[in-house]
Amino acid sequence: MNARAVAVEVVRSVVDEGRHIDAALSDHAASLDPSARSFAAAISFATIRRWWLIEAYLERHLKRPFNKKGRYLHFVIAIGLAQLDQGRTASHAAVNETVSLASGQWKWARGLVNAVLRGFQRKDTALGLEDSPERAHPDWLAAMIKADWPSQANSIMAANMCEPPLWIRINESSVAVEQWRSKLAAGVSATPSEALSCALRIEPAIDVSQLPGFDVGDCSVQDGAAQWAATLLQCEPGMRVLDACAAPGGKTLHLLQQTPSLDVVALDRDGGRLERVSENLRRASLTAKCITGDATETKWWDNKPFDRILLDAPCTATGVIRRHPEILVNRSRRQVEEAVAQQSQLLDQLWTLLKPGGQLLYATCSVLKCENEHQIASFLGRTPSAHERPLPGNVGLPTTYGHQILPGNVNGFDGFYYALLGKKDD
């Protein structure tokens, strides 16, 4: 299979099977060489980002929708349009190579794919991503973003359509930031964030294994917004800390690199993902007790309460759409409600494991208020022992409860939400 054929398979898996782009790429692009793999990835991401614009375009330009048998052609045309949108790929190659994917189907298929793509090239040329990013969102999500963020909705939706920057975190306990920067290869820049000393934005977004000291843990990939967690939790040496939804372990690693003497329990209900926490810790020669278990119950717990709890909650991930555009395609309004119910259950259960005087940091990578400030408002309303504590840092926008970082807004970070909750002493 060539890169374009792989992209068709990836897009099909995302749209028809609800898969993540990254997972579909690792299955379908495994046999491609690195440059073909990154071409397949670029086409897949570009197509999924534009999926609703492409659907609207095809609705206007196809006489009737493809039946089940012809659905492959729908995806072939979709990757063709994504390549041609605003002349993103050399148009001859994009049309010819994409049309040739239709060969081997029906006689008329080649002609049809050719006609749609050439028609787009001649008359339309752009799908409208820049002019109207809202149209690239499903209606229910655009409505929620507009209701929650009336003044910022357009910039949030525009940020969702951008290619995400590469942020890394320097492990300041092993190397000073300036010393690390001095080892960077020529032609690669590392721009510090205004907010966090250890966050650097790398341009161009090179293969991270080529960054100095990556293999020995001097740096790790982590968006700047996520790097706030370890600071905000305010751990002191020797404290007992629960990282309740830990996998793949970016924040567990940060907590321990910052304060190696912590007694950390890293919990996740997904044993496969938890393996990655163990691997990351091993690579950095750090230790935590890794437990596969469900944080909405206590079967896994040894009855020793925690000084600090990090709840990096499962959420709709609507703050990281630029990294995971499949959210635009396979998230539903019902999943938002399910996430809210799950987060509220997690908050209630984990609260019982916190020592009086202890602190719980609640985090999501969502921009929806029902998962963030409204979630915390309800929790505080039903939990007399809880109060909100100020965040020690200038984190995004203060909201009624907690702080919201909007995507692309502060330093070009991902969308993230933090609220710090203190438990009253008995």
Ligand X SMILES: C[S@@+](CC[C@H](N)C(=O)[O-])C[C@H]1O[C@@H](n2cnc3c(N)ncnc32)[C@H](O)[C@@H]1O
- State which residue, 112 or 253, has the beta carbon closest to ligand X: 253
Residue 361 contacts ligand X per CB under 6 A: no
Q: Minimum Å distance from CB 131 to ligand X? A: 33
Give yes or no for a contact between 421 and 389, defined as CB atoms under 8 angstroms apart. yes
Q: Assess 168 for contact with ligand X (CB under 6 A).
A: no
Handedness of CA 375, 378, 384, 390 (dihedral sign): positive
- Total residues interacting with ligand X, rule: CB under 6 A: 17
Q: Judged by CB under 6 A, which of 217, 224, 249, 412 binds ligand X?
A: 249
What's the min distance (Å) between Cβ of 78 and ligand X?
A: 29
The answer to whether 200 and 181 are in contact (CB under 8 A) is yes
Per CB under 6 A, 232 contacts ligand X = no
Q: 109, 232, 291, 295: which one contacts ligand X (CB under 6 A)?
A: 295
Q: Give CA–CA dist 18/160, Å, rounded.
A: 19
**Which C-beta is closer to ligand X: that of 147 or that of 341?**
341
- Decide: is 148 part of the binding site for ligand X (CB under 6 A): no
Tell me the sheet residues that pair with 103. Answer: none
* Segment near ligand X (CB under 6 A); pick from 99-107, 135-143, 269-277, 399-407: 269-277
Binding mask 314-333 for ligand X (x = CB under 6 A): x-------------------
Q: Is 260 in the site for ligand X (CB under 6 A)?
A: no
Window contacting ligand X (CB under 6 A); options: 21-29, 152-160, 261-269, 382-390: 261-269
Q: Does 279 bind ligand X (CB under 6 A)?
A: no
> Which residue's CB is nearer to ligand X, number 6 or number 391?
391
Distance of closest approach, residue 365 Cβ to ligand X, in angstroms: 6
Binding positions for ligand X, 97-116, rule CB under 6 A: none
Catalytic site includes residue 365: yes
Q: Site residues (CB under 6 A) for ligand X?
A: 245-251, 267-270, 273, 294-296, 312, 314
Residues annotated as catalytic (active site), given as ranges: 365
